[in-house]
Structure 1
Amino acid sequence: MTIVLSEPGIDGLTGVVDALRAWQDDRTPLQLHPGDLGWAWALGAERLAAAVRTWSTDGRIIAVGYLDAPDVLRLTTAPDVRQDEGLARQLLADLDDPKRGVLPPGKVGLELPDGALLRETLLAAGWHPDEPWTPLRHDLSEPVKDSGLRIEVAGPKTAGTRTAVHRSAFGSARFTEEIWHVLAAGPVYADARCLIGYDHQDNAVAAVTVWSAGPGKPGLLEPMGVHADHRGHGHGTAICLAAAATLREMGASSALVATPSSNTAAVATYRAAGYEPSTERLDVSRPA
C-alpha cells in the first residue's frame, strides 16, 4: 500500500480527532487519546496543527503522531495495522530522517502503544528503551463511590478558580483564564469536563479535566492536580474518584490515566481511587 505522510492543517484536525476516537479500546490502555489533542488545543489550533503528523492510505488515516515537545513524539495507529510490516518500515524511515519533517536530528523520545510492530522495528534499528510509564485504568461498569468533595463543573464564571488550582498544583503560570477559554472553545472540549473539588470549608482544593472518546470507550484524565496549600488530605484521590464518576455519567467504559513510574506518589494516589495499574510500558528513544 502507498502510505502518505502529511500535516493535516487546521481544517484536518477534526478528522484526526475522529480517527483517534475510533481507535480507543480498553485492550490498549495507553495510547494517544482525543483528549491529548483536546488539552493541547489550549495552544491554539494553528500551533496544534503544526505539531500533528498523519500517515494515510487511500485517504484513510492509519497513524497519528503528536509532537508533545520538539523532541518527543506521541504516536498511535489504527488497531488493524498495528502489526503491519509495511507501515512499520515506513514509520521507521520517516522517524529516522529529520528531512521528512517529523522529528529533529539528535536524541528524541517516542511514545507508542504496546503491541505495535514498530517498537520491535525501532529497537532492531538501534533505538533504545527509555522512560517507563505506568498506565492505570478504572473500570466503570459499576457505580463509583462518592469522592467526599463538593464537585463543580468549571465554566466561564469559574475558569479563574480552575486555572488557579492548576497553576498552584504544577507550579506553572502558563495555564491562565484566557488560555482556558481557548481550550474550552476547541471542538474536542464538547466531550470534556473541567471539575473543581471543594473541601468542607469551601476551598478549591483540587481540579481535573476529563475527556470522553464516546460511549462505550475509555475516557482520559488530563491533567489532575491538587492545590499546593491543600496537599496531604486525600484530595488527589477524591478528585480522581470524581473524574471516574463523571466519565461514567458520560458513558465511558473506563477512566484511563498514565504517569511516569518514577512518580510513585501519583501511582499511589490513582490506586487509592480504584485505578488498577497495567503492565509498565517503556518509551523508546533514538540516540544522539
Structure 2
Amino acid sequence: MSITMLRATPESLGELVEAMSQWPRTGGPVQVHVGDLGWKWRFGGPALAEAVRVWTRDGRVVAVGLDDDGLVRLGIAPEADDDIELAARMLADLEGVEVVEARAGAAFRALLARRGWVADEPWAPLVRDLAEPVADCGLRIEVGGAHNVRDRVEVQRAAFDNSTFSEERWHAMAAAPAYQRARCLIGYDDTGAAVAAVTVWSAGEGRPGLLEPMGVHRDHRGRGHGRAITVAAAAALREMGSSSATVCTPAGNVGGVATYASAGYTRQPDVTDLRRPIGG
C-alpha cells in the first residue's frame, strides 16, 4: 500500500469535504474540521486548494493539512490514528514547516515527540453536548442569506479588527460544497440592530459540529450577546443533527472562554500547537 501527498485542486475539494466529514467523533479531539475549509473557502476554491495538502493511501484520503497563517493544521482519519508509515511520510512532507496543529494521530504525535518538537501556543477546546433541547437564546435570530448578507458582513467586520470579509466573499463561501451543511446566524437586539453573528458547520448526522467564526459587533459588547449567539449556534447544530457543538479558542482568550462556558460549553484539557526544534 502506497502513501502519496498532493496539493488539492479546486475540482477535488468537494470530494475532500465528503471524506473529512466522516472523521469527527463524539468525544474525539477537535482537529481541523470541514468547517475550517468551508470558512477559508470565502477566498475562492483556487486559493483554498493551494492551501491544502492531501495524503492518500491507495487513493483514499487519510490526512489533510491546511496552511493557515504560518502553521499547518492537520486532520487525520480515525482509522489512521496509529499508522506509523503515514506518520513518517507526513513528517517528511512537512519539511520546512515550523509549527503544526496536530491534535489527533497518536503515531504522528509520538513521532514528533521523539524528534524533539516542543509545545507552542496553547488552545482551549470547548464542547457542548446536544442530546437535550437548547433553550431560547434571548435574541431574534435570522439565518444568513442573500436578503441580509449586508448585516452578516457588517457584524463580522465590526467584530474582528482588520477583517476583509465582504458580500462577495460571503457568496463565494455560501456557494461552496462545505456550506451545504452550514448556516450563518445573525442576532438582532430589541432595536433591530444586528449585534452578533456566527457560522456553524455540520459534519453530518450524529457527528460534532463546529462554530467558526463567532463575533459580536464592537458597538454592542458587554450585553450578553456573545453568550446568546453561541447558544443559538448550539440550537442550530442540534437541529442539523450534530451530536455536539465544538469550538477552539486561544487559551489566553479569557473573555472568549468565559463566553462559551456561560453558554453551556464545557472546557476540555488545553492542547498546544507543536514547534519544530531549533535546527531540527
Q: Smaller-chain TM-score range? A: over 0.9
- Aligned residue for 1:53, secondary structure, equals strand
Residue type matched to 1:233 in 2? R
Q: How does 1:189-228 map to 2 (within 5 A)?
A: 189-228=179-218
2:65 is aligned with 1:65: yes
Report the Cα distance in structure 2 between the residues aligned to 1:225 and 1:218, rounded to whole angstroms: 21
Which stretch has the larger CA shift, 217-226 or 277-286? 277-286
Q: 2:116 aligns with which of 114, 126, 146?
A: 126
Matched AA of 1:79: P
In structure 2, what is the equivalent of residue 79 of structure 1? 78
Residues 207-229 of structure 1 show CA distances to partners (whole Å, capped at 9, x for unaligned) of 00001111111110000000000
Moved over 6 A (4+): none
Asked if structure 1 preserves the Cα contact closer than 8 Å seen for 2:64 and 2:75, the reply is yes
Structure 1 pair 196–143 and aligned structure 2 pair: CA distance change class (3 A):
same
How well do the aligned residues superpose, as a CA RMSD in angstroms? 1.2
The alpha carbon displacement at 1:2 in A equals 1.6
Structure 2 CA distance, aligned partners of 1:20 and 1:3?
Answer: 17
Scaled by the length of structure 1, the TM-score of the pair is 0.94
How far 1:29 sits from its partner (Å)? 3.5
Are the aligned partners of 1:55 and 1:62 in contact in 2 as well (CA < 8 Å)? Answer: yes
SS at match of 1:118: helix
SS of corresponding position for 2:245: strand
One-letter amino acid matched to 1:9: T
Query: Aligned to 2:101, which of 103, 111, 129?
Result: 111
What SS does the corresponding residue of 1:129 show, helix, strand or coil?
strand
Q: Which amino acid aligns with 1:211?
A: W
Distance 2:24 2:50 in 1: 23
Cα deviation code 1:236-286 (max 9, x no counterpart): 000000000011111111100000100011000000000001111111012
Runs of 5+ consecutive residues of structure 2 not aligned to the other structure: none
After alignment, is 81-90 or 213-222 more displaced?
A: 81-90
Structure 1 residue 57, shift from structure 2 partner: 1.0
| Between 112-121 and 209-218, the greater mean CA deviation after superposition | 112-121
Q: Is the 8 A contact 2:117 2:276 kept in 1?
A: yes
Structure 1 residue 123: Cα displacement: 2.2
Is the CA contact (8 Å cut-off) linking 2:76 and 2:105 kept in structure 1? no
CA distance in 1, matches of 2:277, 2:14: 34
2:268 to 278, 283, 287: 278
Cα distance in 2, alignment partners of residues 267 and 165 from structure 1: 20
- Please name the residue that 2:17 is paired with: 17
Aligned to 2:87: 88
Deviations 1:181-213 (A, max 9, x none): 111111111111100001111111100000111
Q: Structure 1 stretches of 5 or more lacking a match?
A: none
Distance 1:5 1:183 in 2: 26
Pair 1:260-2:250 in alignment: yes
Q: Deviations over 1:102-150 (max 9, x none)?
A: x4xxxx2211124522112112212211111110011000001110000
1:150 to 140, 143, 154: 140
Asked if 2 retains the 8 angstrom alpha-carbon contact of 1:29 and 1:136, the reply is no
Contact 1:29 1:137 in 2 (8 A): no
Q: TM-score, normalised by structure 2?
A: 0.96
- In 2, are the aligned partners of 1:28 and 1:113 still within 8 Å (CA)? no
- Residue by residue over 1:137-174, the C-alpha shift from the partner in whole angstroms, topping out at 9 and shown as x without a partner, is 11000001110000001111211110100100002240
Does 1:175 find its partner at 2:157?
no
What secondary structure sits across from 1:63 in the alignment?
strand
Does the residue aligned with 1:47 lie in a helix, a strand or coil? Answer: helix
Relative to structure 1, is the Cα distance of residues 66 and 208 closer, same or farther in structure 2, using a 3 angstrom cutoff? same
- Secondary structure of residue in 2 paired with 1:14: helix
Distance 2:210 2:63 in 1: 20
2: distance between equivalents of 1:65 and 1:159? 30
Identity, % of aligned positions = 52
SS in 1 for 2:199: strand
Determine the structure 2 residue equivalent to 1:55.
55
SS at match of 2:212: strand
